[in-house]
Amino acid sequence: MLLQELETQLLALTPSEKAEALRLLAQSLNNSWPGITKTPNLCGGDACIAKTRLPVWLFVSLRRQGSSDAEILQFYPHLNAENLVNVWTYAEANLEEIETAICKNEEA
């Protein structure tokens, strides 16, 4: 996407959508994602739900296979809705990273 296209889309957002976009940009710039951690030598350094070894790409893959949030929470009863919100927010902001991790896992 070109910066000019992005500018047009940003200007069309509501004030609350703009605030959310700013929050996401700030998190991305600070590389600070609530509830998501990246630890070298743990799950290959992939982004995981904090205090677990569950990588973000796994949940994106499950969703693509048709699992709903409710089903995912049934599969992983120690997780909660906030964990999934953190996963989806991180994944949306880091699509290329997640795509690479999914492809890498599928090749293995």
Q: Is 38 helix (H, G, I), strand (E, B) or coil?
A: strand
Segment (H or E) for 17:
helix 15-30
Q: Structural domain boundaries of the chain?
A: 18-107
- Using 50, 70 and 90 to split pLDDT, how confident is the model at 97? very high
- The number of beta carbons lying within 10 Å of the beta carbon of residue 101 is 23
- Give yes or no for a contact between 86 and 49, defined as CB atoms under 8 angstroms apart: yes
**Domain at 18-107: CATH code:** 1.10.10.10
107: its two tokens: 């090749």
Helix, strand, coil abundance in the chain, percent, nearest 5: 65, 5, 30
| 16-75: pLDDT as tens digits | 888 888 877 777 666 667 899 999 888 999 999 999 999 999 999 999 999 999 999 999
